[in-house]
Amino acid sequence: MWAYVNGAFVPDRDAAVSVHDRGFRYGDGVFDTLRVYDGRPFLIDEHVGRLVASSKTLGIGGLPPGDALSALIREVITRNGFGNALVRTTVTRGVSDGWEPDPTARPSVVVVGRPFSGYPAHLYRDGASIVVTTIRIPASPPDPVLKSLNRLAQIQAKREAMARGADEAVLCTDAGLVAEGSVSNVFCVDAGRIITPPASVGLLPGITRGVVIDLARREGLACDETPFGLEDLQGADEVFLTSTGMEVLPVTRVDGRPIGLGRPGPIASALRRLYHVRVRENG
Ligand code: PDD
């Protein structure tokens, strides 16, 4: 497999950045993961746009322009002959001797990929289980809207989910509002109304989340960005998660208790079908 590292395509096993890279030293960078279906990247403009915007917010300059980054991603797909895959792009502030950012440093840009055809089928058939962790979503810094390399709260939350035998962990805010999963966004359905927390709660408003809100509204379903608490999550008729890798994943257990009838619900199933239609329309 081939990877792109700072100006060159190299065999994946040789892909490396300096131990002085600020991404390694301090998590001083951003990343993005996009999905490839049948050799075509899905929503590449949105993914590259988010990466460029996050880099700009952090003041990481000297990046190739968005269309050049897109071309690198496409080149990684082509060189590897990817059919279905995940491609991850990482950008860091580059190398520095110490804590102080070096304004003359060139950013590091890395693009790697791996074959990926989706999460296991049984999760969609039976629904996933989630646990609500006591780990709070960090309000600041870094702003959770940034897809930064700082993922410690989410990693600790994911470890907790794994230890409790669950598929995903949900993090709340300090105020006790549901924010998001460790690597996903959360939706509830209550009496036919779909709700998901607004970005203002403090979460990464995922690209899949945006697509699913759009699909729901086009279908004439009520879908609102509204803050909600744990009781709403636990008492919902349906719960589902969204992310690039998961697409629309129904949840049937929260903290070991069944959601609704304990089976994937009709709205999550419908949105998953519509999502697949959108994927097929791509390219
Ligand atoms: N991350 N919230 C968090 C904290 C995430 O890490 C992700 C996904 C999402 C969903 O975002 P999107 O729909 O744009 O994939 C929400 C990606 C998959 C990653 O970790 O690379």
List, for residues 25-38, the tens digit of each pLDDT value. 999 999 999 999 99
Q: What pLDDT sits at residue 278?
A: 97
Between the CA of 51 and the centroid of ligand 1 the distance, in Å, is 12
Q: Where in the chain is the domain with CATH 3.30.470.10?
A: 2-115
Collapsing DSSP states into helix, strand and coil, what is residue 198? coil
Closest CA to 115 of 72, 84, 89: 84
Collapsing DSSP states into helix, strand and coil, what is residue 50? helix
Which CATH code, of 3.40.50.300, 3.40.50.970, 3.40.50.10420, 3.20.10.10, is assigned to 121-280? 3.20.10.10
pLDDT band, residue 223 (cuts 50/70/90): very high
- What is the share, in percent, of the chain residues with pLDDT greater than 90? 91
Ligand 1 atom nearest 207 alpha carbon: 14
List, for residues 78-125, the tens digit of each pLDDT value. 999 999 999 999 999 999 999 999 999 999 999 999 999 999 999 999
- Burial track 205-229 (b if 16+ CB lie within 10 A, e otherwise): bbbbbebbbebbeeeebebeeebbe
Q: Are strands 185-190 and 178-181 parallel, antiparallel or unpaired?
A: unpaired
Q: Between vectors from CA 276 to CA 272 and to CA 282, what angle results, nearest 5°? A: 145
Report the nearest-CA residue for atom 1 of ligand 1.
183
Spatial distance between the Cα atoms of 140 and 156, rounded to a whole number of angstroms: 17
Ligand 1 atom nearest 147 alpha carbon: 6
Closest CA to 10 of 114, 112, 115: 112
Between the CA of 243 and the centroid of ligand 1 the distance, in Å, is 5
Tokens of 28: 């001083």
Closest CA to 184 of 125, 123, 273, 140: 123
The single-letter DSSP state of residue 199 is G
In this structure, how many other beta carbons lie within 10 angstroms of the beta carbon of residue 197?
A: 24
Q: Between vectors from CA 282 to CA 243 and to CA 268, what angle results, nearest 5°? A: 40
> Which of 42, 112, 184 is the best mutation target for the ligand 1 pocket, counting ligand atoms within 8 Å of the beta carbon and taking the most?
184
Q: Which residues pair with 81 in a beta bridge?
A: none
Name the least confident of 6-10, 140-144, 262-266, 274-278.
140-144
List, for residues 141-173, the tens digit of each pLDDT value. 556 667 788 888 899 999 999 999 999 999 999
- The amino acid present at 48, given as its one-letter code, is V
Report the nearest-CA residue for atom 3 of ligand 1.
183
List, for residues 186-207, the tens digit of each pLDDT value. 999 999 999 999 999 999 999 9
Question: Which residues have CB under 6 Å of ligand 1?
Answer: 33, 154, 180, 183-185, 204, 206-209, 242-245
From residue 235, how far is each of 203, 226, 230 by CA, in Å? 22, 16, 8
Spatial distance between the Cα atoms of 31 and 109, rounded to a whole number of angstroms: 10
> Which of 43, 180, 244 is the best mutation target for the ligand 1 pocket, counting ligand atoms within 8 Å of the beta carbon and taking the most?
244
- The amino acid present at 168, given as its one-letter code, is E
Between the CA of 193 and the centroid of ligand 1 the distance, in Å, is 24
Q: What pLDDT sits at residue 138?
A: 73
CATH architecture of the region 2-115: 2-Layer Sandwich (3.30)
Between the CA of 208 and the centroid of ligand 1 the distance, in Å, is 8
**Residue pair 69/12 in contact by the 8 Å Cβ criterion:** no
Q: Where in the chain is the domain with CATH 3.20.10.10?
A: 121-280
Q: Can you say how many angstroms the Cα of residue 98 is from the centroid of all Cα atoms in its chain?
A: 30
**Residue pair 205/145 in contact by the 8 Å Cβ criterion:** yes
More confident residue, 140 or 264: 264
